[in-house]
Structure 1
Amino acid sequence: MPELPEVEVSRLGISPWLIGHTITKIIVRDKRLRWPVPDEVHHAQGHTIADVTRRAKYLLIDVGQADIVLHLGMSGKLRVVDSTKQVVKHDHLDIVLNSGKCLRFNDPRRFGACLWQPKGEQLPHFSKLGPEPLTDAFDEQRLYTLSRGRKVPVKSFIMDNDVVVGVGNIYANEALFLAGIDPRRAAGRVSGARYAALTEAIKAVLQKAINEGGTTLKDFAQSDGNPGYFAQHLHVYGKAGKACSRCGGEIKSKVIGQRNTFFCTGCQR
């Protein structure tokens, strides 16, 4: 599943092709995504795109009176292509522009979404989201305060979108390794000083992944078709049985919160 850095890389990739251009046509080939594509998205036709922003893993295309809200789901991809380019299987949606280009959404599993959010209203999907991890609203004090008394594993805690958005499985593993925290430790038993280190690690690993183009996964490539390059820098994710890059010990794996978790018992306490 694309995580926050991959979604941000998609935003950075498509924005120059969209902003300032007028939508001439919306083509919906299959409405059956995670939620049915609302008919209102066709209201975007004739409107100029003012901006492309991101909230958590949602992309918001500002068309003036509303936003087209896109989510990549498990396997969604966005490409900017010539509007005349031949459609392939799972090309469910086109946002056609006056430039002759179109933003094409392909999603084999159909867990992605295309929604409509009028200005001044908020979709329920956004109502309980925590702060963005790369902003000042996310800090160690928030983690420390919200964690008090919590017995849930710290890895599950930082992956909770009510606490902070966008810390998905890959980057939770990596940040906990960098901070030296055992992912199995109860969130309420992590000190404020260690949460300070974890906050810094989360911000660092996410920013590095964005800078380097997102992690290469079979279900993700950048908007220009090139894969990201962060995978080569992963310390623990997917490395069960291999030597720890820091101490040489064996990387272990365990399922936490129904997600594969990777850690070094020598480096993470």
Structure 2
Amino acid sequence: MKTIQETYAERLEMLVQRYGQTKLAEVINSHAILIQDWINSLKSEDETKTSCTRAIEAVRQIEKLLGLERGWFDQPVKEGEFIKLSNLPKSDETITYQVKQSHNSSDLVQFRLLDIEKYTCDTASGINHNSIKRVDIDRGWAITHLGLDLDDIALVTVYGDNMFPTLVENDVLFVDMSVKDYINDGVYLLSEASVIKVRRLQMIFSDIHIINDNDKYSNQKISIKEKDKINILGKIKRVWSLRRF
């Protein structure tokens, strides 16, 4: 029998599968990174973790925001169950959380940005996290450097010096959120124990090495057969950096 936390996770995944993570995040004024983190926390065996408590609080707020009956998340999912909510966009509408046209001019696109420092330090509270900001970017630049699928792109800020000198604190990363598995060597956005972090993944023989570019930190490695244990949120495509001279 599933635990209540597993039922919450299953219900949340059901909403994501029905309407898409991007649309759901837009409606609840949150970020897809956080939704996935809630699911992971609810599936965790440690029910006492702060991240699990935060996920349960988020579930209750989602019920209110979507007009669901209180306790909807507590009911085990029935086979063939279908969700129809008037509060959510229709499935044929193109609405995304990371990129949203909010100007009369078509020259700009608007990205949402998650401040990792505020998130990992747990200073934000509730579903409407103060760590989320908005950044306007020239559409032509975005298409040239990021491609046409802008709805797959999210922004995060670098926190800490683990990736120094490649990345420094407050660098802005453009993350392809459609990448959920290791596809090739590169820099990825990962989640471990409810902490979001940026690390380099590199295949060496039959192992995937999880690398801090800063030599003062130790690295990890995991067998390619166990790569599913790496919780990948996305892959870094570009970085904006403002350095002092």
| Structure-2-length-normalised TM-score | 0.29
Say which structure, 1 or 2, has more relative contact order (CA 8 Å, 6+ apart): 1
| Structure-1-length-normalised TM-score | 0.27
